Amino acid sequence: MDNISKLIAEKTGYPNLLDDLNNKLSGSELNSLLLELFRKRVKKISPAGLLSDFEKNRFSAPSTVETISFKQFEIRCLELAAEKDFSIVTLSPLTSLGACSVIGYVDQNNVVSALRGTEIISDATNVFALMIAKEFKKRKTNEVIKYATTHRHVRSQALSNPAFTPHFGVFCVATGGLDKGNFSFELQHLLDHMQIHLLLLSNEFDKEKLFIKIFLKDNNEIFYQKLQEALNNFTNIKIEKESNAGNYYTLVQFKFFLNHEGKEINLSDGGFVDWTQKLIPNKKHRLIISGIGTELIHKIKHPQKQK
């Protein structure tokens, strides 16, 4: 039990409050309880109190981007993805509770949990994993499934950098399909994602100021050799073997950086994850996800347009 939960349990006089609510109530019963609790609390809020909270709440503040030029950039991202045969979708602001933490090694405290069994989307690629798993189970063929979107992510962790905000725009793509053997699926769609990133970023910045880092998550010499051959057409690229690979990406991860005013700024990243293997479940299924920080890019390129 964390300190806040312990304090609430002591304050209410119910030391097992958290466990009882979690273990003894069904999901619908807990949801009904919370709905009624929030209904009662809202009745205590005055108009002046509402405005005061709006002024202070970091989640309420609008973005500082110049909206029209930012939306135009998002359209360019989506048009390029459509040219690459990705299905363009507009996601709901909400997804199922646990969409990130159940399959993606993310602490639920870093996600804004909501009522009715939902959470606010903190990463659209997790939703794509759910969509691809659903489509794979429904379809009779083994065709590759490709999705792309632009989305405003919301994350609840504390931010020490004043340039970071609780909500921000991201362009996300995901590709799922069955393993074909000999790393053919992995190499084909890794290059597909990297080419999208390179084209988009090259349209926004001087290509000479961009560089790529590849991180090998598995010590697989065959894949390493094939990857080197496949990357012959890419420049300013460095491959690193990661001895202490984490649980987020598997096999390989890529990151695009920009040299800007003496700093190396990470603009985008992507790689393979095992999420659909857990969801379907099928160990032969492959999923590559990637994202580009559209709002970060816009703010770097158009600092004068920030409100």
Q: Which domains does the chain have, with CATH numbers?
A: 3-44 (no CATH), 67-305 (3.30.930.10)
Up-side HSE of residue 266: CA atoms within 13 Å toward CB? 9
Q: Angle CA(120)–CA(166)–CA(149) in degrees, nearest 5?
A: 55
Task: Name the residue with tokens 């691809």.
Answer: 132
CA 151, 152, 157, 163 dihedral sign is positive
Structure tokens at 149: 């979107």
pLDDT tens digits, one per residue of 69-128: 999 999 999 999 999 999 999 999 999 999 999 998 889 999 999 999 999 999 999 999
State the pTM of this model: 0.92
pLDDT tens digits, one per residue of 206-252: 999 999 999 999 888 999 999 999 998 888 999 998 866 567 899 99
Question: What is the gyration radius of the CA atoms in the chain, in angstroms?
Answer: 22
Rounded CA-CA distance 253/246 in Å is 11
Burial (CB < 10 A; 0-12, 13-18, 19+), residue 73, is buried
Q: Among candidates 270, 212, 205, which has minimal Cα distance to 237?
A: 212
Examine residue 281 and say whether the peptide bond preceding it is cis (omega within 30 degrees of 0).
yes
pLDDT tens digits, one per residue of 127-153: 999 999 999 999 877 899 999 999 999
CA 161, 165, 166, 168 dihedral sign is negative
